[in-house]
Amino acid sequence: MAQHLVDRNPVVPADQLVSLLVPPAMFDEVSFASYIPDPNEPSQAQAVAKAEAFAKGLGKSRGGKRGLFGKKSAASGAGLYLDGGFGVGKTHLLASIFHSAPSPKAFGTFVELTHVVGALGFNNAVEQLSNHSVLCIDEFELDDPGDTMLVSRLLTELSARGVSIVATSNTLPGQLGEGRFAAQDFLREIRKLGSIFETIRVDGPDYRHRDLPPAPEPVADDEIEALAAATPGCTLDDFDELCRHLGKLHPSRYKKLVEGVSAVYLRGVHAAPDQAVALRLVVFADRLYDANIPVTVSGAKLDEIFTPEMVAGGYRKKYLRATSRLLALSRFNAIAAG
């Protein structure tokens, strides 16, 4: 019998939050060598070379430089900013940098990092991260000014203590103006870090959809129940009940919520009723994607969860990224069934 996500109420102790800042399991084995640049996109090969060179310098900047009279300057971390569209391999490069770096080191999404700082408190978070060789931040976002300022202040403190920072951001395919605006906003926010960030552009189509068929159609309710019954370790939930449950959990607990789940089946999927629900579904989709968990639904298609009005608004990048990831996850079971 299938389990239910709505029956799970995971707890993550605050003292474990920093140790849990590691790349998703799907990036455990990646390396610079395993990144295959698109020959039609020269920026990808250039990004690999820049990222690898950056990784080789980690741990060497903490001691500072000796001045004219032998006195060491203050330690200062280096910075790299990978700017590009969905599915071009920025996270692959970010994880490769993480794997190459000396310990201790940390890797998390922008959202995960804000959750950690919120749970630990700013000063405690700084102390726990200040001895790290590098902090890797995936999917840096500028949607919330408060969070942006919080993380900017955190990066300023950490860089001053010699921690190197690497960040990625998403630019919408075909909308490079919006992408450049995001990069420039981020750079302005962190200019106080000493202009240490080098921005690297990574272009290309979303690899998750290269040469792949369209996302599968939703299945019937009775079929989804039969599929769930035949899948060990899966969960089966009503979409509305899951949305309500997500609203009761802090997003930092979503990773534990899906831990150990083999597949997720959702019954009665429809468009999110409001922005608050939609944004929680974005984080949920990210955690499913991190864990490589297949998704099968009944009801509406997965690309109909976020309404056209939502996608046209300020959270457009979030919704398109989540849709891209959900569609990729929805193909797993369809391919297996075929």
Residue 147 has a pLDDT of 74
pLDDT digits (tens, 9 = 90+) for 262-311: 999 999 999 999 999 999 999 999 999 989 999 999 999 999 999 999 99
Report residue 193's pLDDT band, with 50, 70 and 90 as the boundaries: very low
Residue 123 has a pLDDT of 95
Residue 208 has a pLDDT of 55
pLDDT digits (tens, 9 = 90+) for 5-42: 999 999 878 778 898 899 988 899 999 999 999 899 99
SS (HEC) of the chain: CCECHHHCCCCCCHHHCCCCCCCCHHHCCCCCCCCCCCCCCHHHHHHHHHHHHHHHCCCCCCCCCECCCCCECCCCCCEEEEEECCCCCHHHHHHHHHHHCCCCCEEEEHHHHHHHHHHHCHHHHHHHHCCCCEEEEECCCCCCHHHHHHHHHHHHHHHHCCCEEEEEEECCCCCHHHHHHHHHHHHHHCHHHCCCEEEEEECCCCHHHCCCCCCCCCECHHHHHHHHHCCCCCEEEEHHHHHHHHHHCCHHHHHHHCCCCCCEEEEEECCCCCHHHHHHHHHHHHHHHHCCCCEEEEECCHHHCCCHHHHCCCCHHHHHHHHHHHHHHHHHHHHHHC
Average pLDDT of the residues in 82-95 = 87
Residue 242 has a pLDDT of 98
Residue 2 has a pLDDT of 82
Average pLDDT, the chain: 83
pLDDT of 60 > 90? The answer is no
* 86-90, 308-312, 322-326: segment of lowest average pLDDT: 86-90
Instruction: Tell me the percentage of the chain whose pLDDT exceeds 90.
Output: 51
